[in-house]
Amino acid sequence: MVQIDAGQILDMAIAGTSATLLARKWESALLVNVDNETLSRVLANTEALAAVLRIEGFRKLGDNPLETVIKKSKAVKDAKKRPKEDREKRELSKEEKEYKSLRKQIQEKLVKFATRIPAFMYLTDFRENTLQDVITKIEPDLFKVVTGLSVEDFNLLVSLNVFNSAHMNQAVFAFRRYEDGSLSYTGIDSHSDLRRVGLFDTAVTLEGLEATPN
């Protein structure tokens, strides 16, 4: 039996035990919201829609992919409320598969964008600040170089709830913990005076890991 402290347990529970598990956190579909309500907000905002289309690979999804998903999903939902013949049911099933597939592709493009954020964090050295502050106030130019989106684009997508803050906080924290572990293993302690760690939109104190306001 080996005694471990709370921090080690948290490492295993949140950050995982390998870079592979950490990568999975940043490839999780939970990091972004692609429900009809969120897509409708983006679709209703010309600048937000333009920002989404600037994300790599989005234009390959065809014309108006967000509008297509919303319309087809609503049409299928309404159709299910009415009695259908077998042929109509088959057509309904096909429509449902099409919009679900397109929604998944939209989700994958947004997640692919999210996977660039760890690279951005790796290139910065502002650990006490929330990631949102580092992106918007401290290293906006670097963020654009790494991700392809401007601060204005990012702020707009955040305001429309495209990113799931709770899961983004967990993913950023996992990255920080894994990064600390890697540095400690090599004998490097570049943040010995650190008292809190910034997450996506909040921060945690190192003593007790209590959430603190940004």
Q: In what order do the strands lie in the sheet with 196-198?
A: 196-198, 203-205, 211-212
Cα gap 167→164, rounded to integer Å: 6
Q: What is the pLDDT of residue 75?
A: 86
Q: What is the DSSP string of 148-176?
A: S--HHHHHHHHHTT-B-HHHHHHHHHHHH
**pLDDT number for residue 120:** 94
pLDDT of 38 > 70? The answer is: yes
Give the per-residue pLDDT at 22. Answer: 80
Q: Is the pLDDT of residue 80 over 70?
A: yes
pTM: 0.78
Mean pLDDT of the chain: 82
Span 58-78, average pLDDT: 90
Residue range 45-54, pLDDT digits in tens: 999 999 999 9
Q: Locate the domains of the chain by residue range.
A: 1-27+115-214, 32-112
